[in-house]
Structure 1
Amino acid sequence: MAYRETEKMRQRKAEARQRIIECTWACVSEGGFRSARITRIAALAGVATGTIYRHFESREDLFAEIFRLATQREVDKVAEALTVGESTVQRLENALRQFATRALKGPMKAWALIAEPVDPKVEEERLVYRKAYASLFEQAIQDGIAEGCLPDQDARLTSTCLVGAISESLVGPLSPTQTKTPPGHENNDNDLVETIVCFCIRGLTGTRS
């Protein structure tokens, strides 16, 4: 008789897989992908290292899955922000501010997703999600052109420029080697966010809304 996996076994496997994912993200959140070692992940998840490889073909596959899940949450937050505001310009401001603010509140997480040197499989996912952000901005820009609050422009190219500008402007501040904010300068992050938003909106409109 062929072996048939029981529902209980499937549930146990699913739970183990979820623990592996959660513990991997916890490691990445603390020190980036570089610090997420399989032995540590296994110990935190309460499984053998071999169990991890039964769920994921390789370390790179595990990291790519973590990247997909984490970045999709951020893309969803930007999409949500693009629904708030009376005009397209306001909605774009909200989305840009959301992107930058969330990144600066969780700098190690954001560094891992935006700029940390990673394996090729994870880099492929990074490119996919940069396109996802750009697609959201592209649709918003097209809406703004239709509304008449944005000048006519190549929405696809402009959206790519937005993603590049905001990502590049955050690389330095998010870097683990960046000097910590000195006491009394806690508002630096707010200034950075507003500078990014101002720059991007000026690029879209030619003025600050």
Structure 2
Amino acid sequence: MRSDRIARILEAAAAVFAECGFERAKMDDIAERAGVAKGTIYYHFQGKDDLFCALIADVVQRLMDRWDEAARAASDPVERLRHRIEALARFLLANRRFAVMLLAEAWGNETRQQVFRAHVRELIGALERVIREGAEAGAFAVREADTAAAALFGAVSVAVLHAVFAGEPVDEERLVAQIVDQAVQGILPRG
């Protein structure tokens, strides 16, 4: 469980990174926004790269926690997948600035790239397990669960970012329902 102080630092970092970009973000600005001394940030994080990587890990863990909650609520693979896709779409919509920041900044230096890719693989692996289970039960028409999982993760992420970048008000309930329906229909067996 993260402390309140670390939570404030991570939230402030997400906001500053999203507003300024990684390179222009300053630890002083993050500290001010978090309401802590700059030394407090350095007590918990080695530097800006470490803080960025911790932020990615924190966001992914919170999403995985939501996925675990959703998995407990569903009895079959189709419903588990629907819940995961819905949770991903809602999470990205709720954390728009972070999602946009990741799109812009995750391909920075090699360390950030490796951390980002490892966490994306973790998320895709969680989707893959549900898809594989559904394929084995005959619920999904997929040959390669890993490719289907990556395609779903990418499609959901891009659909949300497309709506965010459109610059128009988003009917989140409608958008999430459309994303879930389109994503799940794409891998269900044709009948």
Normalised by the size of structure 1, how large is the TM-score?
0.74
Distance 2:91 2:42 in 1: 32
Query: Would you say the 8 A contact 1:23–1:41 is kept in 2?
Result: yes
Q: CA 1:21 to 1:124, structure 2 compared with 1: closer, same or farther past 3 Å?
A: farther
- 1:22 matched to 2:11? The reply is no
- 1:156 matched to 2:146? The reply is yes
* 1:142 aligned counterpart, secondary structure: helix
Distance 1:126 1:112 in 2: 12
Distance 2:60 2:150 in 1: 17
* 2:187 aligned counterpart, secondary structure: helix
Distance 1:125 1:174 in 2: 25
Q: CA 1:194 to 1:207, structure 2 compared with 1: closer, same or farther past 3 Å?
A: farther
Partner of residue 71 from structure 1, selected from 60, 76, 80: 60
1:117 corresponds in structure 2 to: 105
RMSD, matched Cα: 2.8
Query: Would you say the 8 A contact 2:81–2:127 is kept in 1?
Result: yes
* 1:204 aligned counterpart, secondary structure: coil
2:182 corresponds in structure 1 to: 199
1:40 corresponds in structure 2 to: 29
Distance 2:138 2:189 in 1: 14
Amino acid at match of 1:189: E
- Counterparts of 1:43-192 in structure 2 under 5 Å? 43=32, 44-47=34-37, 49-113=38-102, 115-118=103-106, 119-120=108-109, 121-175=111-165, 178-181=166-169, 188-192=171-175
1:153-201: per-residue Cα shift (whole Å, max 9, x none)?
A: 21111111111111111222234xx4241xxxx6x22222122112211
Query: Would you say the 8 A contact 2:45–2:51 is kept in 1?
Result: yes
* 2:73 aligned counterpart, secondary structure: coil
Identity %: 22
Amino acid at match of 2:186: G
Query: Would you say the 8 A contact 1:82–1:94 is kept in 2?
Result: yes
Query: Would you say the 8 A contact 2:135–2:142 is kept in 1?
Result: yes
Q: Which runs of 5+ in 1 are unaligned?
A: 1-13
Distance 1:93 1:207 in 2: 17
Q: CA 1:148 to 1:76, structure 2 compared with 1: closer, same or farther past 3 Å?
A: same
Q: Which runs of 5+ in 2 are unaligned?
A: none
Amino acid at match of 1:154: E
How many residue pairs match? The answer is 184
Distance 2:10 2:132 in 1: 38
Q: CA 1:173 to 1:122, structure 2 compared with 1: closer, same or farther past 3 Å?
A: farther
